[in-house]
């Protein structure tokens, strides 16, 4: 199944690609040579999965997107108090390259404008200027998950033409924000802006911020979580310069742009977004980058004030049908079919609030297994809320699965996926409990792959497994001791604690065997159908019944009550012995099949339910 999320990303690339407004940066001569029509998008989940479209692997210089990462490095090297003494955290309202300081504090207003960024660069530890830059490059490489290289041509171009930044550096020196010669610091700033990245790198850098400073692929803790909070806070209010207010209200993700055409955005705990398109607006932000982020935020409901209790992964557990069958007791022929085809049905137990990031993990995991599946169940009992984007993603995933021959059911007792929102055929069948959904999977597999012997709805006495070994004469001796009974839906046939009620042979219909759970509510332990029986153990052992047995719907039975069983021992002891031997054989074969089934089940892995034996 093709990824639903990938299609979203592709559609946004197509929708925004026609916009040719804006112009490439030209105050750095080498930037003016950039291809204005390049356009790439990359979205990285907090666990490192990538969705890419367009020119996502085309290199460009990081430019001002470097600022939050150098700021984070300065915080780690010097401590928050020392950095705060040199640079503030308030929005400036000015252009990014304004030559100004806060009139009250005398500091650069924030580390996202050039004055604050040069100050942050001066605070990176290192005995020499070269050592400090090597630390910057190593830190950026750790954020990206690969070694980043310097674009020498861009660097030389910045070095030749960066007079305004030199002026900012000398201004900072005159007020003692910079305590030494500003030239090496400004040079280091030019170098950091000239490091080459692509949209994939930036998306992983953003995902590392989203992941509390730990790179989702390498596992390296690049920045401490409390410092990540500080960096993201400043990015939220200052990252898009004098367009920050419009960005926060319209997009709602901490972000940073660069005049090389890149835009980086972060949804904490969920995803990182990167866009590359060199045409810039009047604020110095990528035109198509801003619009792409705006569309992503709107269509995927990514605004950071859209509060969610999403888990890292919405898939709490998943397992194949073979690993955890229903409580319905099956015949030998049915069990054989389910052993052969049980891996083609899978259950996904979800949890948390399903917003975009949670739904993304679900559809990604489903897509990974979809080619092998015929049936799929989504268990929503631990889901409290499903956002509109998640509903659309799940509905689209189901549509694609059905086209490939895989049917989907949901366990949704609380109605978190309202039927009226999805059309008349979007989410049948629905189940109130997981065991019913698992039983539905089994019935569907049996209908698709079973032999005629798996589709028996009515059983005769002669064909019943407990009596099949009796001769015609033996059956005639048994018949007078059997009492026919038709149970209506909901009728209680046996109660827990009752004295033995006899052997009940099911000829049609189904009954539920249940016990009281820890909460006092009935808990189903088995469902029996035509060709099965109950009550034997209580009768032969002379003990009270251990469970309740209730007819699920109209059910036909033949009952050998205790009096008839005793009389059979006097009148036809051979028939009674054959029945007892049949019971022993039946239980032995059932245990052997259960052991075989357990041997075929996979051990529970990460994110999977533990393997349990059928009740």
pLDDT digits over 133-162, tens only?
Answer: 999 999 999 999 999 999 999 999 999 999
- Residue by residue, DSSP assigns 208-223 as HHHTTTB-TTT--B-S
Query: Which has the minimum average pLDDT: 28-42, 76-90, 457-471?
Result: 457-471
Tell me, what's the pLDDT at 605?
Answer: 43
Tell me, what's the pLDDT at 615?
Answer: 28
pTM for this entry: 0.74
Torsion of CA 133, 138, 144, 145, to 10 degrees: 170
CA distance linking residue 38 with residue 20, whole number of Å:
11
Read off the pLDDT of residues 435-477 as tens digits, 9 standing for 90 and up. 889 988 998 999 899 877 776 788 899 988 888 889 999 999 9
Read off the pLDDT of residues 217-228 as tens digits, 9 standing for 90 and up. 999 999 999 999
Two tokens, residue 526: 């088995």
For the segment 421-444, the average pLDDT, to the nearest whole number, is 75
The residues annotated as belonging to the active site are: 64, 67, 189, 241, 259
What three-state secondary structure class fits 71? helix
Show the domains of the chain with their CATH numbers.
Answer: 4-300 (3.40.710.10), 315-453 (3.30.750.24), 472-586+596-600 (2.60.120.10)
Two tokens, residue 193: 């802006």
Tell me, what's the pLDDT at 611?
Answer: 35
Tell me, what's the pLDDT at 122?
Answer: 96
Read off the pLDDT of residues 518-554 as tens digits, 9 standing for 90 and up. 778 788 778 888 888 999 889 988 999 999 999 998 9
State yes or no: cis peptide before 114, omega within 30 of 0: no
What three-state secondary structure class fits 20? coil
Two tokens, residue 410: 């949901």
For the segment 182-200, the average pLDDT, to the nearest whole number, is 97
Tell me, what's the pLDDT at 22?
Answer: 95
Read off the pLDDT of residues 363-414 as tens digits, 9 standing for 90 and up. 999 998 888 899 999 999 999 889 888 999 999 999 999 899 999 999 998 8
Tell me, what's the pLDDT at 531?
Answer: 86
CA distance linking residue 214 with residue 92, whole number of Å:
30
CA distance linking residue 432 with residue 415, whole number of Å:
9
Say if residues 279 and 290 touch (Cβ distance below 8 Å). no
CA distance linking residue 542 with residue 512, whole number of Å:
22
């Amino acid at each position: 199944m093709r990824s639903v999320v990938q299609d979203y990303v592709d559609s946004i690339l197509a929708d925004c690609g026609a916009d040719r407004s804006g112009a490439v940066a030209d105050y750095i001569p080498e930037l003016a040579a950039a291809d204005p029509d390049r356009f790439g998008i990359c979205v990285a989940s907090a666990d490192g999965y990538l969705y890419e479209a367009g020119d996502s692997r085309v290199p460009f210089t990081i430019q001002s997107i470097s600022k939050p990462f150098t700021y984070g490095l300065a915080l780690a090297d010097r401590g928050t108090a020392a950095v705060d003494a040199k640079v503030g955290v308030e929005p400036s309202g000015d252009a990014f390259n304004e030559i100004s300081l806060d009139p009250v504090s005398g500091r650069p207003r924030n580390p996202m404008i050039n004055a604050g960024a040069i100050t942050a660069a001066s605070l990176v530890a290192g005995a020499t200027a070269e050592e400090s830059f090597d630390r910057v490059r190593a830190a950026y490489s750790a954020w990206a998950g690969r070694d980043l290289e310097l674009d020498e041509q861009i660097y030389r171009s910045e070095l030749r033409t960066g007079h305004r930044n030199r002026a900012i550096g000398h201004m900072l020196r005159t007020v003692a924000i910079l305590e030494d010669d500003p030239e090496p610091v400004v040079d280091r700033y030019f170098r950091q802006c000239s490091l080459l990245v692509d949209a994939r790198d930036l998306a992983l850098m953003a995902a590392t911020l989203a992941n509390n400073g730990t790179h989702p692929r390498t596992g390296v803790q690049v920045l401490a979580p409390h410092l990540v909070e500080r960096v993201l806070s400043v990015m939220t209010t200052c990252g898009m310069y004098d367009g920050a207010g419009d960005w926060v209200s319209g997009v709602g993700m901490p972000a940073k742009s660069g005049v090389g055409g890149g835009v980086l955005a972060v949804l904490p705990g969920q995803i990182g977004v990167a866009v590359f398109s060199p045409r810039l607006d009047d604020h110095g932000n990528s035109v198509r980058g801003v619009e792409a982020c705006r569309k992503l935020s709107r269509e995927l409901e990514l605004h950071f004030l859209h509060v969610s209790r999403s888990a890292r992964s919405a898939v709490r557990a998943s397992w194949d049908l073979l690993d955890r069958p229903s409580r319905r007791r099956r015949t030998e022929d049915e069990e054989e079919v389910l052993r052969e085809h049980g891996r083609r049905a899978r259950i996904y137990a979800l949890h948390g609030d399903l917003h975009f990031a949670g739904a993304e993990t679900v559809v990604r995991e489903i897509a990974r297994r979809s080619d092998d599946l015929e049936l799929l169940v989504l268990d929503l009992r631990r889901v409290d809320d499903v956002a509109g984007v998640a509903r659309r993603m799940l509905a689209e995933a189901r549509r694609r699965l059905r086209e490939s021959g895989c049917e989907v059911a949901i366990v949704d007792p609380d109605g978190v996926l309202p039927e009226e929102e999805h059309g008349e055929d979007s989410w049948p069948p629905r189940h109130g409990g997981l065991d019913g959904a698992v039983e539905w999977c089994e019935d569907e597999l049996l209908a698709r792959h079973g032999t005629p012997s798996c589709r028996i709805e009515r059983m005769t006495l002669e064909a019943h497994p407990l009596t099949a070994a009796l001769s015609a004469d033996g059956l005639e001796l048994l018949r007078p001791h059997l009492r026919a009974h038709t149970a209506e839906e909901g009728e209680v046939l046996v109660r827990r604690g009752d004295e033995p009620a006899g052997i009940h042979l099911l000829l049609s219909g189904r009954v539920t065997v249940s016990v009281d759970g820890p909460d006092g509510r009935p808990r189903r332990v088995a469902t029996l159908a035509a060709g099965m029986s109950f009550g034997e153990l209580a009768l032969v052992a002379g003990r009270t019944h251990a469970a309740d047995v209730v007819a699920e719907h109209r059910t036909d039975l033949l009952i050998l009550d205790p009096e008839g069983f005793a009389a059979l021992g006097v009148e036809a002891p051979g028939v009674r012995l054959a029945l007892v031997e049949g019971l022993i054989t039946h239980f032995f074969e059932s245990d052997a099949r259960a052991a075989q089934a357990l041997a075929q089940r996979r051990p529970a892995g990460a994110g999977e339910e533990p393997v349990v034996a059928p009740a």
